[in-house]
């Protein structure tokens, strides 16, 4: 069983990822993790924080000479900005609170104040920050090596920013060349313009992204218990990304309008069994069916607007405008990288739940045995 948790505050010491349950003997590539971290920081529409932080993974435990030990792995992404915030966030003594009292619509501020009885909203927003997703991406980058060893590959791309949609297919090179991670040059330029316009108006934009997983044999996840279904697990992992408001699998919402005869993917007499269509998005009965797993998410616009939103001051209940200088205008490209990471984590969990072995050698043998069984079915 894979255990995955993060820790860390936005302007605190750093963001941390704790991973337990990885087999020993997995060869990990630092460059892959750092590349994912760098990708999360890029994207047209990011604010100034990204120029302060140059995220790199630091391994605190569990890896030696590039190989997992079987011990728990602890990763750190240190916050350079902590130096500037020490006096407000020191664990033991804070000089001055830099307190906040106006909850921002669209953020955790108000609910967090209610839940934990925090009067200083900084105590909420330091944790309920998109910076936490650096920890998810670091973990996803590490597990990318795990899935890669099992010949499973994961990609993502941006499918919409505000009014501009891209419905085409994925192409790695084109996506990497795009400032918004959209594998199409024309769409990219339109998306950039939309972002610039929103920035000019003090507004923000959301959008959509897709994640695809290739190379999964059938039978990952399980129909036998509701909470072991891979569709549910993937949903939870993706919907837990800050600002994600919808998750679709395969044809998703479009399934509702079509008759069954046009939705279900026939099974062909090939080996391994394959399908002429993939409306199921590679998931039937809560399990993989051998086709690529296809996921799509919607991200709402960034809730911190420079033009402000109506709110209250919690000290006296008066109506005020929530305004902040520094902010991203659009974080959909970054979110697509986080989506990739969360999909990687979900699928790694499902594999380690069903096909656990203490060493990578034994795990690979067992998993490839499963793959052969599937391919010969």
What three-state secondary structure class fits 288? strand
Please, what is the minimum distance in Å from the beta carbon of residue 46 to a second copy? 15
* Number of residues binding to a second copy, judged by CB under 8 A: 164
Alpha-carbon span 308 to 190, nearest angstrom: 25
Give the CA distances from residue 232 to residues 237, 347, 350, in Å, rounded to whole numbers and listed in that order.
Answer: 9, 11, 11
Residue whose structure tokens are 């941006």: 158
47 binds a second copy (CB under 8 A): no
Return the closest-CA partner of residue 241 out of 298, 284, 197, 291.
Answer: 298
Binding residues among 345-364 for a second copy as defined by CB under 8 A: 353-359, 361-362
DSSP label of 292: P
Binding residues among 113-172 for a second copy as defined by CB under 8 A: 113-118, 123-124, 126-128, 136, 160, 162-163
- For a second copy, which residue of 35, 172, 186, 236 counts as binding (CB under 8 A)? 236
Alpha-carbon span 355 to 254, nearest angstrom: 34
Q: Which is nearer to a second copy, 132 or 147 (CB)?
A: 132
289 binds a second copy (CB under 8 A): yes
Q: Which is nearer to a second copy, 119 or 172 (CB)?
A: 119
Return the closest-CA partner of residue 7 out of 69, 62, 77.
Answer: 77
DSSP label of 27: B
Contact criterion met (CB below 8 Å) for 323 and 274: no
Residue range at the interface with a second copy (CB under 8 A); choices 22-30, 44-52, 148-156, 170-178 = 22-30
Contact string (CB under 8 A) for a second copy, positions 49-68, x = contact: ----------xxxxxxxx--
Residue 111 burial (CB count, 10 A): 12
- For a second copy, which residue of 112, 141, 183, 333 counts as binding (CB under 8 A)? 112
- For a second copy, which residue of 70, 148, 215, 292 counts as binding (CB under 8 A)? 70
Residue whose structure tokens are 């992404």: 77
35 binds a second copy (CB under 8 A): no
Alpha-carbon span 58 to 142, nearest angstrom: 12
Q: Which is nearer to a second copy, 18 or 146 (CB)?
A: 18
Q: Which is nearer to a second copy, 155 or 237 (CB)?
A: 237
25 binds a second copy (CB under 8 A): yes
Contact string (CB under 8 A) for a second copy, positions 315-344, x = contact: --xxx----------------------x--
Contact criterion met (CB below 8 Å) for 86 and 14: no
């Amino acid at each position: 069983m894979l255990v995955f948790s993060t820790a860390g505050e936005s302007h605190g010491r750093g963001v941390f990822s704790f991973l337990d349950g990885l087999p020993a003997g997995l060869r990990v590539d630092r460059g892959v993790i750092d590349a994912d971290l760098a990708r999360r920081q890029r994207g047209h529409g990011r604010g100034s924080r990204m120029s302060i932080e140059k995220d790199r993974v630091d391994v605190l435990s569990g890896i030696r000479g590039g190989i997992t030990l079987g011990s728990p792995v602890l990763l750190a992404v240190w916050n350079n900005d902590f130096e500037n915030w020490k006096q407000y966030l020191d664990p033991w003594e804070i000089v001055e609170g830099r307190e906040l009292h106006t909850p921002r619509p669209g953020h955790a501020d108000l609910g967090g104040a209610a839940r934990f009885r925090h009067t200083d909203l900084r105590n909420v927003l330091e944790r309920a920050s998109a910076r936490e997703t650096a920890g998810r991406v670091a973990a996803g980058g590490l597990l990318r090596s795990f899935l890669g060893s099992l010949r499973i590959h994961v990609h993502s791309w941006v499918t919409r920013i505000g009014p501009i949609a891209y419905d085409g297919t994925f192409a790695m090179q084109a996506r990497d060349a795009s400032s918004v991670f959209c594998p199409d040059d024309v769409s990219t330029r339109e998306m950039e313009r939309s972002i610039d316009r929103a920035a000019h108006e003090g507004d923000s934009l959301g959008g959509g992204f897709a994640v695809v997983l290739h190379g999964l044999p059938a039978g990952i996840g399980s129909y036998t218990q509701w909470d072991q279904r891979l569709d549910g697990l993937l949903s939870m992992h993706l919907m837990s990304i800050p600002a994600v408001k919808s998750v679709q699998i395969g044809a998703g919402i479009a399934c509702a309008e079509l008759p069954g005869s046009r939705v279900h993917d026939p099974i062909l007499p090939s080996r391994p069994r394959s399908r002429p269509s993939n409306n199921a998005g590679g998931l039937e009965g809560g399990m993989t069916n051998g086709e690529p797993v296809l996921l799509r998410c919607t991200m709402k616009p960034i809730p911190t607007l420079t033009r402000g939103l109506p709110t209250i001051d919690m000290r006296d209940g008066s109506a005020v405008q929530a305004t902040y200088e520094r902010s991203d205008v659009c974080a959909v490209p970054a979110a697509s990288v986080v989506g990739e990471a969360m999909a990687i984590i979900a699928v790694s969990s499902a594999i380690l739940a069903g096909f656990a072995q203490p060493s990578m050698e034994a795990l690979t043998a067992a998993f490839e045995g499963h793959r052969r069984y599937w391919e010969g079915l």
